Homo-oligomer: A and B are copies of this chain.
Amino acid sequence: MLSDIRKRARKAGMSPGTVFFTGEQRTDRTRVTVTDFDQTTLQEVDIAHADECARFKDSETVSWIDVEGLHDVTLLEQMGGVFSIHPLVLEDIAHSGQRAKLEVHENYLFIVVRAITPGLREEPEEEQISLVVGRNYLLTFQERPSPVFDSVRQRIQASRGLVRRMGVDYLAYALLDSVVDQYFVVLEDIGEELEELEDILIKAPTPEFLEALHDLRKEVMTIRRAAWPVREMLNVVLRGESPLFDAATLPYLRDLQDHTLHVMDIVEEFRDQQTNLMELYHSAASQRTNEVMKVLTIIASVFIPLTFLAGVFGMNFEFMPELHVRWAYPAFWVVIVLVTAVQVYFMRRKGWF
Which A positions have Cβ atoms within 8 angstroms of B?
1-2, 5-6, 8-9, 11-18, 86, 88, 92, 98-99, 101, 103, 150-151, 155, 160-163, 173-174, 177-178, 181-182, 184-185, 187-188, 191-192, 194-195, 204, 207, 210-211, 214, 217-218, 221, 225, 251-252, 254-255, 258, 261-262, 265-266, 269, 272, 276, 278-297, 299-301, 303-308, 310-320, 323-326, 328-329, 332, 350-352
Contact = CB atoms under 8 A, between A and B. Distances in A.
B88 A251 contact: yes
B191 A5 contact: yes
Q: How many copies does the complex hold?
A: 5
A250 B332 CA distance: 88
Given A12-B184, A181-B13, A332 B303 contact: no
Contact of A195 (B2, B254, B313): B2
Contact of A332 (B17, B150, B195, B315): B315
Contacts of A217: 276
A12 B178 contact: yes
B301 A290 contact: no
Contact of A162 (B15, B174, B307, B316): B15
B319 A326 contact: yes
Given A2-B191, A285-B283, A299 B301 contact: yes
B292 A300 contact: no
A192 B311 CA distance: 57
Given A5-B191, A317-B328, A319-B328, 12 more contacts: A1-B191, A5-B188, A11-B184, A15-B163, A88-B252, A98-B262, A282-B283, A292-B293, A292-B294, A303-B304, A316-B323, A317-B323
A333 B151 CA distance: 75
**Main secondary structure on A side of the interface with B:** helix
Contacts of A251: 86, 88
Contacts of A297: 292-293, 295-296
B299 A290 contact: no
Contacts of A311: 307, 310-311, 314
A83 B314 CA distance: 98
A278 B318 CA distance: 60
A205 to B, nearest CB: 10
A160 to B, nearest CB: 6
- The 9 tightest CB contacts between A and B, nearest first, are A15-B161, A310-B311, A13-B151, A12-B181, A313-B315, A9-B188, A296-B297, A314-B314, A9-B184
A297 B2 CA distance: 42
Contacts of A99: 258, 261-262, 265
6 contacts: A1-B191, A2-B192, A6-B188, A6-B191, A18-B161, A307-B311
Nearest to A180: B12
Contacts of A211: 280
B207 A287 contact: yes
A343 to B, nearest CB: 9
Contacts of A214: 276, 279-280
A100 to B, nearest CB: 10
